[in-house]
Amino acid sequence: MFADARLTNLIANLLALLAVGAIVAGAVYWAISRPYFVVARIEIAPMQGPSLQYVTPVSMRTSLAGQVRGSFFAIDLDQVRHTIEAAPWVRHASVKRVWPNTLSVKLEEQQPLAFWNENQMINTWGEAFTANQGELPDDTQLPQLNGPPDSERLVVQRYAEIARWFAPLNVRVREATLSPRYAWEVQLSDGVHLRLGRDPAADTTDPHGRSGALPFAARIERFVQAWPELSKRLGERMIASADLRYPTGFAISLAPETHTTTTK
Q: What is the pLDDT of residue 92?
A: 96
Provide the 10 A C-beta neighbour count for residue 138: 4
Q: What is the pLDDT of residue 252?
A: 95
C-beta separation of 196 from 155 below 8 A: no
User: In whole angstroms, what is the distance from residue 180 CA to residue 123 CA?
Assistant: 21
Q: Percentage of the chain surpassing pLDDT 90?
A: 59
Among 8, 89, 20, which Cα is nearest to 54's? 89
pLDDT beyond 50 at 264: no
Least confident among 161-175, 177-191, 247-261: 247-261
Report, as an integer, the average pLDDT of 182-201: 93
DSSP the chain: -HHHHHHHHHHHHHHHHHHHHHHHHHHHHHHHTSGGGB--EEEEEESSSSS-SS--HHHHHHHHTTTS-SBTTS--HHHHHHHHHTSTTEEEEEEEEETTTEEEEEEEE--EEEEETTTEEEETTS-EE---GGGS-TT----EEE-STT-HHHHHHHHHHHHHHHGGGT--EEEEEE-TT-EEEEEETTS-EEEEEE-GGGGSS-TT-GGGHHHHHHHHHHHHHHHHHHHHHHTT--EEEEE--SSS--EEEEPPP--PPPP-
Residue 252, class by beta-carbon neighbours within 10 Å (0-12 exposed, 13-18 middle, 19+ buried)? middle
Least confident among 88-97, 172-181, 201-210, 233-242: 201-210
Give the residue extent of every domain in the chain.
Answer: 2-32, 36-109, 113-254
Least confident among 9-13, 84-88, 181-185: 9-13
Higher-pLDDT residue of 33 and 143 is 143
Q: What is the pLDDT of residue 41?
A: 87
C-beta separation of 113 from 142 below 8 A: yes
- Dihedral angle computed from the Cα positions of residues 110, 116, 120 and 121, in that order, rounded to the nearest 10 degrees: 10
How would CATH label the architecture of 36-109?
Answer: Roll (3.10)
CA-to-CA separations, 183 to 189, 202, 221, in angstroms, rounded: 20, 9, 18
Identical fold, 36-109 and 113-254: no
User: In whole angstroms, what is the distance from residue 161 CA to residue 150 CA?
Assistant: 19
Q: What is the pLDDT of residue 199?
A: 87
CA-to-CA separations, 244 to 172, 193, 235, in angstroms, rounded: 18, 11, 22
pLDDT beyond 50 at 28: no
Q: What is the pLDDT of residues 122-141, one digit of tens each?
A: 999 999 999 999 999 999 99
How would CATH label the architecture of 113-254?
Answer: 3-Layer(aba) Sandwich (3.40)
Higher-pLDDT residue of 230 and 30 is 230
Q: What is the pLDDT of residue 9?
A: 64
Predicted TM-score of the model (pTM): 0.79
CA-to-CA separations, 197 to 12, 109, 131, 182, 194, in angstroms, rounded: 85, 35, 32, 8, 9
